Amino acid sequence: MITYLYWLGIVVLVGAALYGIGVKAENWKVGIIVALVILFVGWATYFFRLQQVFVKRYGGVMSIRVPEGQHHLAATWKDDNLWIENYDPKTNTCVFSEYSKGNMLQGKVTITNCNPLVPRQ
């Protein structure tokens, strides 16, 4: 819900810039430039800073796809970064993948001979 409210706020700001500068001040060139700047800054702020904060703290929206051929095992948060554990039966490895803000610093840990889906004897 918070994600949708954020984007609604960005759209309202873009509309206000277009209306205030483009219509009222009759300066469409500046109005469009200001609207595009607001849209870009809003997108960059969301992607590089707010997306995982919204999801973790306020119930935002985020989608992650499990890679083809792998099985999802677990997910956990470390600070504001999401760690996903998947199992690859072809190589018998567990892969921990980090989803950081803006996907800039992504960690990856691979455990060989993991085989978590088969009970131990």
- Output the DSSP codes for the chain: -HHHHHHHHHHHHHHHHIIIIIIIS--HHHHHHHHHHHHHHHHHHIIIIIHHHHHHHH-------PPTT-EEEEEEEETTEEEEEEEETTTTEEEEEEE-GGGSS--EEEEET--TTS---
pTM recorded for the entire structure: 0.66
Domain that holds residue 75: 71-112
Judgement on whether residues 7 and 51 belong to the same structural domain of the protein? yes
Is residue 64 assigned to a domain?
no
Q: Is 119 among the domain residues?
A: no
- Is residue 12 domain-shared with residue 47, that is, in the same domain? yes
- Residue indicated by tokens 């700001």: 13
For the stretch 65-101, pLDDT in tens is 898 999 999 999 888 788 999 998 888 899 998 887 7
Q: Is residue 65 part of a domain?
A: no
Residue at 47 is within a domain = yes
Say if CB 89 and CB 117 are below 8 A apart.
yes
Does residue 33 belong to any structural domain of this protein? Answer: yes
| 117 within some domain | no
The answer on 50 and 15 residing in a single domain is yes
- pLDDT tens-digit profile of 35-73? 999 999 999 999 888 888 888 888 877 888 898 999 999
- 7 located within any domain: yes
